[in-house]
């Protein structure tokens, strides 16, 4: 039996969609800076890319503050409970129509694989992307700070992280289609409400 539960707060939904917009916009403008696409023009793409990057940094600081002060950070705590079973489900079980080995609840919104993925995204990947972007942007100040790194190394790290973020985005969007209906997970991130198993 299912029950409808408010699983995602207004701030979580705002943060999710604004962050998604910023990451997609940063990917598009970043690829334009690299000459892969032509939409805004190089100068405008640089300007908008830098502005969006700073906006993402500010949003991230607010999100960290919100997660810490509300206790919502607990959903991102990685754990190994059923990790192997969930990995097997996503690799094979989902194609066989098997049921998901994890059931969401208000106490645990993310399955262990999601929690681990988001933890790595928020603690490793996003900071690497933001720091490399800031270093790239502030390249002319390196000498005054005593930094002796090579610009091409920072640029390569920033570009590799962009492709990792793109891969994460594609996998994330695909997995949103694996709910009860093609758009049920997406709708829960729009409305905040999700149907959960009563025992979950």
pLDDT tens string, the chain, 200 residues long: the values are 789 999 999 999 999 999 999 999 999 999 999 999 999 999 999 999 999 999 999 999 999 999 999 999 999 988 888 889 999 999 999 999 899 899 888 889 999 999 999 999 999 999 999 999 999 999 999 999 999 899 999 999 999 999 999 999 999 999 999 888 899 999 999 999 998 887 54
Place of tokens 């000459």: 35
Instruction: Give the pLDDT score at 198.
Output: 73
Cα end-to-end distance, the chain, whole Å: 10
DSSP 199: T
Find out if CATH 1.20.950.20 is the number for domain 2-96+109-197. Answer: yes
**C-alpha to C-alpha distance for 65 and 73, rounded to whole angstroms:** 10
> Is the distance from CB of 99 to CB of 135 less than 8 angstroms?
no
**C-alpha to C-alpha distance for 163 and 95, rounded to whole angstroms:** 27
> Is the distance from CB of 189 to CB of 18 less than 8 angstroms?
no
> Is the distance from CB of 25 to CB of 52 less than 8 angstroms?
yes
């Amino acid at each position: 039996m299912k029950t409808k539960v408010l699983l995602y707060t207004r701030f979580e939904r705002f943060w999710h969609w604004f962050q998604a917009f910023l990451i997609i916009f940063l990917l598009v403008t970043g690829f334009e800076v690299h000459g892969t696409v032509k939409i805004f023009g190089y100068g405008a793409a640089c300007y908008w890319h830098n502005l969006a990057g700073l906006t993402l940094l500010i949003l991230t600081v607010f999100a960290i503050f919100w997660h810490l002060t509300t206790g919502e950070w607990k959903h991102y705590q990685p754990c190994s409970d059923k990790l192997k079973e969930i990995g097997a489900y996503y690799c094979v079980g989902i194609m066989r129509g098997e049921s998901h080995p994890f059931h969401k609840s208000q106490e645990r919104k993310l399955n262990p694989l999601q929690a681990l993925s988001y933890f790595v995204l928020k603690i490793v990947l996003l900071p690497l992307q933001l720091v490399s972007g800031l270093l790239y942007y502030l390249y002319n100040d390196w000498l005054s700070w005593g930094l002796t790194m090579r610009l091409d190394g920072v640029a390569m790290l920033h570009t590799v992280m962009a492709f990792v973020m793109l891969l994460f985005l594609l996998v994330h969007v695909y997995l949103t289609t694996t709910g009860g209906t093609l758009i049920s997970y997406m709708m829960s991130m729009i409305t905040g409400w999700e149907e959960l198993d009563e025992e979950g």
